[in-house]
Amino acid sequence: MKFSEFTYLWRISKFNNESVVSLFKKTVEKYPNKIANYFKEEKWTFKELDDFSNRVANCFNAMEFWAGDEIALFMNNRPEFIGFWLGLAKAGIITAFININNRKDLLVNSLEAFNCKAIIYDSQCSGGIK
């Protein structure tokens, strides 16, 4: 699934008064084995993406993050990015998308502006965190 398709889901959700999560769940029910995301040699089905996002939601709830909390997502474009975003949304957690080019003071300002309680990042972005 491309980011433009998620933008499309977001627009539909606004006009139909549905959340992106509920629209995604309907898509999973309808097309569980259809490929949702191609990334290099990886292929993720809607079911696999749903399972990953459910694990993310359960993990963050187990760590006592709750609906309304804000968590930063500081990752390169990859399937896990979508899975983390959906998982956080399933838990009711607000995702602050942080530009991967932000470093030092700009990164700190971004995190403070959103009042983030945590940050999710991948190894390629770890240099900006240190």
Indicate which CATH number applies to the domain containing 109. Answer: 3.40.50.980
At 9-43, the pLDDT tens digits run 666 666 677 788 988 999 999 999 999 999 999 99
Residues 6+ apart with CB under 8 A from 116: 70, 71, 72, 96
What pTM was computed for the model?
Answer: 0.83
Q: How many domains does the chain have?
A: 1
At 41-94, the pLDDT tens digits run 999 999 999 999 999 999 999 999 999 999 999 998 888 999 999 999 999 999
β-strands 70-74, 118-121 pairing: parallel
The range of the structural domain enclosing residue 45 comes to 3-129
Q: Are the C-beta atoms of 74 and 121 separated by less than 8 Å?
A: yes
Instruction: Give the pLDDT score at 99.
Output: 87
Q: What is the DSSP letter of 93?
A: P
Rounded to an integer, what distance in angstroms lies between the CA atom of residue 46 and that of residue 48? 5
Place of tokens 């959700």: 13
